[in-house]
């Protein structure tokens, strides 16, 4: 199989973890006889600094012409700490999602047995947790009408029936492939937009009779994720709620550096770690590359290359079991491994497998 991959390293630790993702993809492609071609493009603060636009037209073109995008992270403190900034790195991420029509964000939340002690929750609560958060990505308050002056500000949480139907279809289909349990998360007791979400979900549920569908207010869902994360199989929700809940879910595993994601929709899919750019760690060789590497596994699986994805997951599990880990998840007294060393160990495992 031939792959054309757009690589967007971005900001902060992005370029460091991006290298490890590309190295792993190269190793897997070599092992399985695939051909891969990379095209690198600017995004985020790096793109603002160089061309004044966090998602330049050239980057959009490169993404459109690719089979998939391997994205890393955007963000920089000089923009975070300036509330008057008109152009921000994160606008590039939103632009990419909107312009590529990536309306479905798929975030797996899982625990690793050897890292249960790293979770802020008790091991008996998180052991066996394995669920998908499916977040609507191109609607709601992030893209609705906005206004701000010195005395008034508002964001409009707007959704249409087609937008809701298409993300629910994704969620029901994922539930059919898993344990056949879907939880629709909303705030239908307060918000009109949520009431439309619940109405549409109730209308669609009979089309999937094998799926047990339940409904949960977002505040209850946030609490249930902490009290009983093993309850969930597939969770679907709107953009703003999804942004918050997926970050909450990432803590269950014990490190944001462990979890990948995929954004899919009308055009080129994007695969990325869920964490941010962590600018404080830039250049220190301490960033965990596993989320980026597992994003490569999701990329292969998206193209039905299941054996390739499985091998990457085996290599990641083996690295954790062997305590080849970056500092934030290393055992006390364990050997010191950096971003490069963890990536190299996984590449070598793949080559020898």
The catalytic residues are 142, 187, 219, 243, 247
Tell me the sheet residues that pair with 137. Answer: none
Kindly report the backbone phi and psi dihedral angles of residue 107, in degrees, each rounded to the nearest multiple of 5, phi listed first: -120, 110
What is the sign, positive or negative, of the torsion defined by CA atoms of 78, 79, 82, 86? Answer: positive
Nearest to residue 238, comparing CAs of 258, 223, 217?
A: 217
The neighbour count for residue 312, using CB atoms within 10 Å, is: 25
**Per-residue CA distances from 74 to 54, 158, 180, 306, 348 (Å):** 9, 26, 35, 29, 29
| H-run or E-run covering 161 | helix 161-177
**How far is Cα of residue 20 from the mean position of the Cα atoms in its chain?**
17
CA distances from residue 289 to 23, 24, 124, 154, 274 in whole angstroms, order as listed: 11, 11, 27, 38, 11
Q: Parallel, antiparallel, or unpaired for β 68-73 and 2-10?
A: parallel
DSSP 8-state class, residue 282 = T
Contact 159, 193 (CB under 8 A): yes
């Amino acid at each position: 199989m031939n792959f054309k991959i757009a690589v967007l390293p971005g900001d902060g630790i992005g370029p460091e973890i991006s290298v490890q993702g590309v190295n792993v993809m190269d190793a897997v492609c070599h092992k399985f006889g695939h051909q891969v071609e990379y095209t690198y493009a600017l995004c985020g603060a790096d793109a603002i600094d160089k061309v004044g636009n966090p998602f330049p037209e050239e980057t959009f073109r490169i993404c459109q012409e690719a089979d998939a995008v391997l994205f890393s992270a955007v963000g920089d403190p000089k923009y975070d700490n300036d509330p008057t900034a008109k152009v921000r790195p994160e606008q590039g991420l939103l632009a990419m999602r909107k312009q590529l029509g990536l309306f479905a964000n798929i975030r797996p939340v899982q625990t690793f047995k050897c890292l249960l002690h790293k979770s802020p929750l008790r091991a008996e609560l998180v052991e066996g947790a394995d669920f998908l958060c499916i977040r609507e990505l191109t609607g709601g308050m992030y893209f609705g009408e906005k206004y701000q002056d010195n005395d008034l500000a508002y964001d409009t949480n707007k959704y249409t029936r087609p937008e809701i139907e298409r993300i629910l279809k994704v969620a029901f289909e994922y539930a059919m492939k898993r344990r056949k349990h879907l939880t629709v998360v909303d705030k239908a007791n307060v918000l009109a937009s949520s009431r439309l979400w619940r109405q549409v979900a109730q209308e669609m549920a009979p089309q999937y009779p094998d799926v047990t569908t339940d409904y949960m207010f977002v505040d209850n869902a946030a609490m249930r994720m902490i009290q009983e994360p093993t309850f969930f199989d597939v969770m679907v929700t709107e953009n703003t709620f999804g942004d918050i809940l997926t970050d909450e879910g990432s803590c269950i595993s014990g490190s944001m550096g462990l979890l990948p994601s995929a954004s899919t929709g009308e055009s080129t899919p994007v695969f990325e770690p869920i964490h941010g750019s962590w600018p404080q760690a830039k250049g220190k060789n301490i960033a965990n590359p596993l989320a980026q590497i597992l994003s490569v596994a999701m990329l292969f699986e998206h193209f039905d290359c299941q054996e390739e994805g499985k091998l990457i997951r085996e290599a990641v599990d083996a690295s954790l079991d062997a305590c080849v880990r970056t500092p934030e998840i290393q055992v006390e007294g364990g050997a010191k491994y950096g971003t490069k060393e963890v990536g190299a160990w996984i590449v070598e495992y793949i080559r020898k497998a």
